[in-house]
């Protein structure tokens, strides 16, 4: 199969390196609007040809791998089909079910193969996960979870900010949803979708709750903050996990309490989808049995729903008396009202705020962090703060599946059970939404109220440390560490439901 790569970004380098390992593929060259870049790429990978898109479309190649920026996919796929070239297109291939149906129909009309390049579903490691699930090695499947969270540094002009074709969920979410769909072999129902999408920009973080028959699914994505990058399948006898599941060959598992690992063949992450595509072209097959029109449509039925979720991530969590929501810039006066009290901050390890401007700067900082919340009464005015400190903001853990709980409350509201009420709701988010395995917490010697909050919530005392640095106060203190596991959280919930 004679193949050209359209696009000369960083991903094209990885695709080309994998093409050279597939004996069925003859990598002819690269195409780009920037001819000099196409020439440099072709020379680097030992290809004989280069040019613009029309140069190859009018040539004798068999297929095109489209690796241009995502909003350019639709037009370029259509041009390839018009010239009767088979197409494999980098994920997310398209952005709506309507586009998907249009171009698959066009491909069938022109008797060419169109396939979305979702490399994860072709990896031997994911195939092994599927085999273990099918053969019941972890018992009855109870839950499936996939996440892809990484801090990106995209300029405002980057396509990822485009409201129509950009966003973390359409981009990274296709790996999560597509892989779960492949493993579960059914179309999921979308139960809930939260995102930080705004009217003037696409989302950078999103959470989706899915239902596969009787089995719950969860997809978590972010291109603005680091977090876990993980596939996890939970069964009645154990769990299977794959870190960086879309690009590596290792899986770990715990079955009946026995932990093990498998290091599965990985020639390269793009190799297996390319070999599959080449086999289809060589055999005249016009639709992939793995990444079919239906498979791509099932992904889009979930990831395409992001268009209707503007502002959902900022929707509050509620308890009987409280609203927990993200901080807003106009919250600064309310923060200063309570944070200026010398009885509030210093005992928790930070100095009392000295001016409204200081509170304003801190609110601006808080407003950029997704897991820090204002504690409000039903009038929506902040009276305190509570945070799920992920590993990059925690001194207690460096694990993706653990976090730390931090909080403070205005003095007029002490002794009313407000903080335990807020903490229990945040623990629900940490364990049930973010799939944490442990939540750490702690208090400095003498902070009896904080100790009592943790006891009421079910945290267990772990250890005491002497001479702890308290950097914001420029001193050392004695500190006590507590912890709660997911199993303990689930036991607490079960007791409350009795």
Peptide bond into 92 cis (omega under 30): yes
- Pinpoint the residues of the chain covered by CATH 3.40.50.720: 2-117
Distance (Å, whole) CA 87 – CA 291: 12
Helices first, then strands: H and E counts in the chain: 15, 22
What share of the chain in percent tops pLDDT 70? 97
CATH topology of domain 2-117: Rossmann fold (3.40.50)
H or E stretch covering 103: helix 97-109
pLDDT in tens, 284-324: 999 999 999 999 999 999 998 887 665 555 456 889 999 99
pLDDT in tens, 320-343: 999 998 888 889 999 999 999 999
Q: Domain 121-268+283-308 in CATH: superfamily?
A: Dihydrodipicolinate Reductase; domain 2 (3.30.360.10)
- Kindly list the strands in the beta sheet with 26-31, ordered across the sheet, starting from the edge strand earlier in the chain: 49-51, 26-31, 2-6, 63-66, 86-90, 114-117
The mean pLDDT of 33-51, rounded to a whole number, is 95
The pTM score is 0.68
Which pLDDT score, from 0 to 100, does residue 445 have? 95
Distance (Å, whole) CA 461 – CA 482: 4
Longest dimension (CA), the chain: 78
Distance (Å, whole) CA 140 – CA 69: 41
pLDDT in tens, 234-284: 999 999 999 999 999 999 999 999 999 999 999 999 999 999 999 999 999
Residue 32 has pLDDT above 70, yes or no: yes
- Pinpoint the residues of the chain covered by CATH 3.40.630.30: 316-497
113 confidence band (pLDDT: 50, 70, 90): very high
User: What's 316-497's CATH class?
Assistant: alpha beta
Distance (Å, whole) CA 21 – CA 209: 38
pLDDT in tens, 116-130: 999 999 999 999 999
């Amino acid at each position: 199969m004679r193949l050209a790569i359209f696009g000369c970004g960083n991903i094209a380098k990885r695709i080309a390196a994998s093409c050279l390992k597939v004996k069925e593929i003859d990598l002819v060259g690269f195409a780009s609007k920037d001819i000099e870049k196409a020439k440099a790429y072709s020379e680097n990978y030992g290809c004989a040809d280069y040019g613009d898109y029309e140069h190859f479309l009018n040539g004798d190649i068999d297929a095109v791998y489209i690796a241009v920026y995502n909003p350019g996919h639709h037009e370029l796929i259509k041009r390839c089909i018009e010239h009767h070239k088979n197409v494999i297109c980098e994920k997310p291939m398209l952005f709506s079910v309507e586009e998907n149906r249009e171009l698959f129909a066009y491909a069938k009309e022109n008797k060419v193969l169109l396939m979305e390049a979702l490399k994860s579903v072709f990896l031997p490691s994911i195939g092994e996960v599927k085999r273990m699930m099918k053969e019941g090695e972890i018992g009855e499947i109870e839950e499936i979870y996939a996440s892809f969270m990484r801090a990106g540094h995209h300029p405002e002009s980057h396509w990822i900010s485009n409201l129509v074709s950009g966003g973390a969920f359409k981009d990274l979410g296709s790996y999560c949803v597509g892989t779960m769909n492949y493993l579960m072999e059914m179309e999921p129902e979308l139960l809930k979708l939260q995102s930080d999408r705004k009217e003037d920009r696409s989302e950078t973080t999103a959470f989706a709750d899915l239902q596969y028959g009787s089995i719950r699914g969860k997809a978590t994505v972010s291109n603005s903050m680091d977090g876990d990058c993980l596939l996890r399948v939970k069964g009645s006898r154990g769990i299977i996990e794959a870190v960086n599941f879309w690009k590596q060959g290792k899986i770990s598992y715990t079955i009946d309490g026995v932990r093990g690992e498998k290091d599965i063949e990985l020639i390269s992450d793009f190799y297996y989808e390319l070999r599959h595509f080449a086999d289809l072209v060589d055999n005249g097959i016009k639709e992939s049995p793995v990444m079919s029109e239906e498979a791509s449509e099932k992904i889009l039925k979930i990831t395409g729903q992001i268009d209707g979720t503007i502002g959902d991530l900022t929707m509050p969590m509620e308890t009987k008396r409280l609203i927990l929501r993200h901080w807003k810039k106009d919250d600064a006066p309310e923060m200063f009202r309570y944070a200026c009290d010398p009885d509030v901050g210093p005992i928790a390890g930070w100095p009392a705020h000295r001016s409204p401007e200081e509170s304003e700067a801190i609110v601006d900082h808080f407003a950029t962090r997704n897991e820090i919340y204002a504690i409000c009464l039903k009038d929506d005015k902040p009276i305190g703060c509570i945070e799920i400190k992920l590993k990059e903001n925690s001194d207690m853990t460096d694990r993706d599946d653990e976090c730390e709980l931090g909080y403070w409350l205005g003095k007029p509201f002490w002794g009313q059970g407000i903080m335990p009420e807020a903490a229990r709701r945040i623990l629900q988010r940490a364990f049930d939404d973010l799939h944490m395995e442990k939540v750490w917490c702690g208090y400095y010697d003498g902070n009896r109220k904080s100790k009592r909050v943790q006891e009421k919530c079910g945290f267990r005392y772990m250890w005491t440390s002497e001479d702890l640095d308290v950097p914001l106060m420029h001193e050392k203190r004695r500190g006590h560490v507590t912890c709660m596991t997911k199993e303990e959280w689930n036991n607490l919930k079960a007791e409350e439901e009795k």
